């Protein structure tokens, strides 16, 4: 009976359905994630999984990088104000690249190059460490999110990924940029 109790306790610890530590129920943007913006999930799935292409990451366009450098508050550049000559980022990308931006082999991010490189290095290092230490693949690309609220009257929205694709970050040398590749599970 003692063994059964210990197994049940271990099962509950492994099956943590709490929102705090389970990103499959409650994704929160942060240091263990990189947000991809202005992309279409179906196109990414087609290129990454079906065609088995490797994808690269694009930093924030230079015009917006300059706006960040000129402003004191880095987070304020996504907000539009009447004095700004730059349109919202999604409209800017639509004007500059059109629909071709969805079929290129690049994933758009909202980070300046230095922060993008740092974020990708951190993600790759943590994923590699987890694989080496525990034998667990933890790097996934989430496509699409379900927005939900736990209590029906709560104003706090939670986001759960709809499709998780196992991926690998790789680069041939420290000077190269990271590329994303689908890790085929056979």
pLDDT of res. 86: 84
pLDDT digits (tens, 9 = 90+) for 65-123: 887 776 655 444 444 444 457 888 889 999 988 898 999 999 999 999 999 999 999 99
Q: Give CB contacts under 8 A, 24+ apart, made by 90-93.
A: 90/37, 90/38, 92/61, 92/63, 92/64, 93/38, 93/61
pLDDT (mean) for 153-174: 87
pLDDT of res. 82: 44
Contacts (Cβ under 8 Å, ≥6 apart) of 159? 26, 27, 28, 145, 146, 147, 148
- In this prediction, residue 3 has a pLDDT band, given cuts at 50, 70 and 90, of confident
pLDDT of res. 156: 80
- In this prediction, residue 55 has a pLDDT band, given cuts at 50, 70 and 90, of very high
Say whether pLDDT at 43 is over 90.
yes
pLDDT (mean) for 155-179: 89
């Amino acid at each position: 009976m003692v063994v059964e109790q210990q197994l049940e306790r271990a099962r509950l610890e492994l099956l943590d359905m709490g929102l705090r530590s389970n990103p499959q129920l409650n994704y929160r943007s942060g240091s263990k994630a990189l947000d991809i913006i202005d992309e279409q999930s179906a196109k990414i799935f087609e290129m990454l999984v079906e065609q088995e292409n490797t994808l690269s990451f694009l930093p924030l366009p230079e015009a917006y990088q300059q706006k960040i450098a000129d402003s004191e508050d880095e987070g304020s550049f996504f907000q539009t104000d009447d004095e700004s000559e730059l349109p919202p980022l999604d409209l800017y990308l639509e004007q500059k690249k059109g629909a071709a931006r969805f079929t290129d082999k690049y994933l758009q991010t909202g980070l300046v190059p230095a922060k993008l490189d740092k974020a990708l290095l951190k993600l790759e290092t943590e994923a590699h460490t987890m694989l080496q230490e525990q034998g667990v693949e933890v790097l996934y690309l989430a496509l699409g999110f379900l927005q939900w609220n736990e209590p029906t009257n709560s104003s706090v929205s939670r986001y759960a990924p709809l499709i998780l694709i196992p991926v690998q970050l790789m680069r041939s040398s420290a000077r190269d940029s990271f590329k994303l590749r689908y890790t085929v599970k056979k």
